[in-house]
Amino acid sequence: MLWTIIVTLVGGIIIGALGKWLAPGDRDNIPFWLTVVCGIIGMLVGNTLYYAIFKDSPSDKWDNMTRGVDWWRHVWQVVVAALAVMAASFLTGRDRRRV
The predicted pLDDT at position 62 comes to 55
DSSP state of 17: H
Backbone angles phi, psi at 64, to 5 degrees: -160, 100
DSSP state of 66: S
**Digit-coded pLDDT (tens) for 58-81:** 666 655 556 677 788 888 889 999
The predicted pLDDT at position 94 comes to 58
The predicted pLDDT at position 37 comes to 92
Residue 99 has pLDDT above 60, yes or no: no
* 94/99 Cα distance (integer angstroms): 13
The predicted pLDDT at position 1 comes to 73
What pTM was computed for the model? Answer: 0.78
pLDDT band at 2 (very low <50, low <70, confident <90, very high): confident
* 9/59 Cα distance (integer angstroms): 28
Query: Which among 95, 79, 94, 96 has a CA at the least distance from the CA of 38?
Result: 79
The predicted pLDDT at position 97 comes to 59
**Digit-coded pLDDT (tens) for 31-53:** 889 989 999 999 889 888 888 88
* 31/68 Cα distance (integer angstroms): 34
